[in-house]
Amino acid sequence: MKVTLSRATLVKPLQMISGVVEKRQTLPILSNVLMTVTEESLSLTATDLEIELIGVTPLEKDQVTQTGSITVSARKLLDITRALPEDATIQMTLDGDHLIVRSGKSRFQLTTLPAHDFPSVENGPFATEFEISQAKFKRLIGKTHFAMGQQDVRHYLNGALFDINQGVMKCVATDGHRLAFCAINEINVGDTRVKVILPRKSILELIRLLDANSEVVITICIGDSHFRVISPDFTFTSKLINAQYPDYDKLIPKSVQNTAIASREALKQALVRASILSNEKFRGIRLHLDRDQLRIVANNPEQEEAEETITLEYQGSGLEIGFNAAYLLDAISAIASDHVRWSFNDPNTGVLIEPSDVSDSLYVVMPMRL
């Protein structure tokens, strides 16, 4: 294997796949990247046995002297490439059990492991396949991912549910204390009905990979045990969580007695300021709702207290309810409209938070006792 390319050509796919490579591996080869050179392209593959990410860069024929494949330390190759000048030209040559990297007067000799020992994610059949823009798909998971569980014993909560039915793709995440929901219409999948749970790490990796401003079309493939995203720059494959997700529809309040509408920015800033003096561990705050007024109170074990008052549209009776400030801020920050709608029944049931102008996303936050 022998290939010559610019630093920029190599550093982009290396940075792309670096998030999948685990720092502490039981198998040494999992800290390596599989490098495959053909006459048309350079592909770099990383895996942790749960996720596989392949970054592809096109090459000209005069850049490739000899095709081939080998695995080499992903971190060391990335560090070397980053440390070289931006306009550097890099030549990589396989010499026995070592990869020789040359650039200008610099020379690096890296230990390799055979390409045939590198594990690959099994290519099972994908029963569901459709196309969507990067921006739409990133928006779908970006508005829900923060509500996923973290190391919850209920492993199915440590991920996000994709529920596809009759051309609508829904994404749901919950950790038992709050729920986030977003939907996209007009997905071209016919009458397909499928529900799958994508693990937390996979969701976070996709958020890193996808461009929120790109209308480039990606292909999503869903099988019994794997989820794949194919873009012009990468192919991402993840195992699915094999479990039954809770019936999220039952967690969303259907009939509510009280509704308040507030400025999203005013509410967000008031919550940020008040939460500064909340209990650092529990982040608890008290909301006092009265006619056209919301008072937010926070205090901590040091006997410190913060109070914020904002005006809003509310005609119901007086109400006091406690919440985790961070949960409220996560939901409000995910909403793009100028105003948010709060719907609730009493201090013991969850509050439904929605944008005031569209209905493609919603959030439920359970109260806490203070």
> Any idea where the domains of the chain sit in the sequence?
2-117, 126-250, 254-365
Residues of the chain with pLDDT under 70: none
Instruction: Name the CATH superfamily housing domain 126-250.
Output: DNA Polymerase III, subunit A, domain 2 (3.10.150.10)
For position 325, what pLDDT does the model report?
96
CATH number among 3.30.365.10, 3.10.150.10, 3.40.50.720, 3.50.50.60, domain 254-365: 3.10.150.10
What DSSP designation does 117 have?
G
For position 311, what pLDDT does the model report?
96
For position 359, what pLDDT does the model report?
80
Residues 291, 314: contact at Cβ < 8 Å?
A: yes
What Å distances lie between residue 164 and 34, 65, 169, 183, 195, CA to CA?
Answer: 34, 47, 4, 9, 6
Torsion over CA: 275, 277, 281, 286 (sign): negative
Instruction: Look up the CATH number of domain 2-117.
Output: 3.10.150.10
For position 259, what pLDDT does the model report?
93
For position 125, what pLDDT does the model report?
86
**For residues 291 and 297, what is the distance between their CA atoms, to the nearest angstrom?**
17
Reading the block at residue 326, the tokens are: 């961070």
Per residue, the 3-state secondary structure of 324-346, as one string, reads EHHHHHHHHHCCCCCEEEEEECC
Burial annotation 111-123 (CB, 10 A radius, 16+ → b, else e): ebbebeebeebee
Q: Of all helices (H) and strands (E), which one includes residue 85?
A: none
Residues 133, 156: contact at Cβ < 8 Å?
A: no
Torsion over CA: 348, 292, 144, 325 (sign): negative
For position 58, what pLDDT does the model report?
93
What Å distances lie between residue 6 and 96, 97, 209, CA to CA?
Answer: 24, 24, 22
**For residues 103 and 181, what is the distance between their CA atoms, to the nearest angstrom?**
50
For position 357, what pLDDT does the model report?
86
For position 316, what pLDDT does the model report?
84
Reading the block at residue 85, the tokens are: 């000048």
What Å distances lie between residue 96 and 65, 80, 112, 218, 253, CA to CA?
Answer: 16, 20, 9, 39, 65
126-250 matches 2-117 in CATH topology:
yes
